[in-house]
Amino acid sequence: MNAQITNIWSNALKLIKDEVSELSFTTFMEPLKPVSGGTDFINLEVPADFIKASLEQRFYPLIKNAVNQASKRDYIVNFILPSETIFDKLDEPSGEAYEKTHLNSKYTFDTFIVGKNNRMAHAAAVAIADNLHNNSYNPFFLYGGSGLGKTHLMHAIGNYITKNNKSAKVLYVTSEEFTIEYISALRKNEFVQFRNKFRSVDLLLIDDIQFLGEKNSTIEEFFNTFNSLHQSNKQIIIASDRSPNELSFFDERLRSRFQCGLVSDVQKPDYETKIAILRKKSEDEGFIIPDEVYEYISKNVGTNIRELEGALNQILIYSKMSSADLSLETAKEALKHITENKNSQKTITPKSIIDVVSRYFDTRPEDIKSDKRSRNISMSRQVSMYLCRELINMSFPEIGKEFGGKHHTSVMTACTNIDKKKREDKFLDTSINDIVDLVKI
């Protein structure tokens, strides 16, 4: 263990202690143990999975900021369980740089719950894992909302290949990590090492590609890396919160490359899949929970896997701290702050969005749903479609049906246009923010 990392964490803890309650500090912070680190990352070992989830959901910004203050550097903080495997030093020509990227050993195909929402994506992931150089699926572009299992699938592919093909070089990074390493390579004049690292792998998995947007030089380097790997028949897997067509901040040449292999979306889990996800998680952690608790969470909490598991973790923590049984009553009490807030919020519907937009732009709701193409009506229609996508996460076909049977490609074009225009037009951006506020009232 690097003594410097230990010292940084010790000083960070002192800063954190002043920012959280004594109970939170003893429950979540004191058990953390620095186990490894490098020039710009630190790995903290977490004793239990439910504590890890709470740290990621509630405390990550606080911990990262404290570490950065203590070190006077920009560190990435990773939370790992004792059972997790960190894959370090994949291919470092210089012999000096540390590999901060990792595969999480708990994210496997065995722990992934397959439902109607992700069946196609899962099948493609398995096909790639079984045949790494299946060029028909290269690149594999996964997209969908946050917390729906895209990262899990990426790690599952990487873990399967690492286990069954010892000679394969696998590298998982987020777009943020790619950017940080690229900038560091420029600053340290280690560009050859950077390129060797990213272009010598058999499988590159890059997560949250949307955050690479508007970083022109980094995008150019990723474009060149992509081409180098693709031309060498190396597998590339990319994840994003939106489809390639919606990545309007990337130029057409890169968007077209994202679509030259297989594009698959991951949607929100249905009720049955939610139940299966919760049951699998509790069984894996050794908890016996009544079915009525799973049903209560599924009906009342969130639409993505992260929110579901977060709710289950809150129930487990509440039960442990209050010595209460894992019952429906305990679940209701533990999640009271979520359900009460949910019930007090206005439900946003396509109709409520269209009504507000029509008043804002002085049009009629029926005109927005029509085929009329005057400038004001077209703008109202596109903004309404965009907000249906952004605020209530409707699919393109669902939005098209709501707007008089429009084809999903027309909806996609409308959403892409608004996303691009609001970045360029401050007045439109302000108008959309005003509409969002009105919709939520």
pLDDT digits (tens, 9 = 90+) for 81-110: 775 533 333 333 333 322 433 688 788 998
Number of H helices, E strands in the chain: 21, 8
Residue 195, helix vs strand vs coil: helix
Task: Give the chain's mean pLDDT.
Answer: 83
- Tokens 């989830």, located at residue: 53
**Which CATH number goes with the domain that contains 312?**
1.10.8.60
Give the pLDDT score at 157: 94
103 within domain boundaries: no
Cβ neighbours of residue 389 under 8 Å, at least 6 residues apart? 396, 399, 411, 415
DSSP, residue by residue, 225-282? HHHHHHHTT-EEEEEESS-GGG-TTS-HHHHHHHTSSEEEE-----HHHHHHHHHHHH
Work out the burial of residue 418: count CB atoms within 10 Å of its CB; fewer than 13 is exposed, 13-18 middle, 19 or more buried: buried
- Tokens 């719950």, located at residue: 113
Judge if 426 and 365 occupy the same domain: yes
Name the amino acid, one letter, at 14: K
Judge if 217 and 169 occupy the same domain: yes
113 within domain boundaries: no
Q: What is the pLDDT of residues 278-328, one digit of tens each?
A: 998 888 778 888 999 999 998 887 778 878 888 888 888 888 888 888 889
Instruction: Say which residue, 114 or 284, is predicted with more confidence.
Output: 114
**Which CATH number goes with the domain that contains 29?**
3.30.300.180
Judge if 235 and 288 occupy the same domain: no
Q: What percent of the chain has pLDDT over 90?
A: 27
Cβ neighbours of residue 319 under 8 Å, at least 6 residues apart? 325, 326, 330, 334
Q: What is the pLDDT of residues 50-59, one digit of tens each?
A: 677 778 777 8
Judge if 26 and 65 occupy the same domain: yes
370 within domain boundaries: yes
Is the separation of the CB atoms in 315 and 281 below 8 Å?
A: no
Work out the burial of residue 324: count CB atoms within 10 Å of its CB; fewer than 13 is exposed, 13-18 middle, 19 or more buried: middle
301 within domain boundaries: yes
Judge if 165 and 181 occupy the same domain: yes
Give the pLDDT score at 383: 94
Q: Which residues are paired to 79 by β-bridges?
A: 44
Work out the burial of residue 300: count CB atoms within 10 Å of its CB; fewer than 13 is exposed, 13-18 middle, 19 or more buried: middle
Question: C-alpha 46: how far from its chain's center?
Answer: 21
Judge if 61 and 162 occupy the same domain: no
> Residue 207 is inside which H or E element, if any?
strand 203-207
Domain that holds residue 173: 119-265
Nearest to 389 by CA among 249, 265, 256, 209: 265
Judge if 171 and 293 occupy the same domain: no
Judge if 261 and 375 occupy the same domain: no
Domain-terminating residue out of 201, 230, 265: 265
95 within domain boundaries: no
Going 66 to 67 to 73 to 74, the CA torsion angle's sign is negative
Give the pLDDT score at 344: 54
**Which CATH number goes with the domain that contains 137?**
3.40.50.300
Domain-terminating residue out of 265, 299, 333: 265
Beta strand pairing call for 41-45 and 33-37: antiparallel
At 24, list the tokens.
Answer: 């939170």
414 within domain boundaries: yes
Please give the Cα distance from 350 to 385 (Å, whole number).
9
The number of folded domains in the chain is 4
Would the pTM count as exceeding 0.85?
no
Position 258 confidence tier, pLDDT thresholds 50, 70, 90: very high
107 within domain boundaries: no
126 within domain boundaries: yes
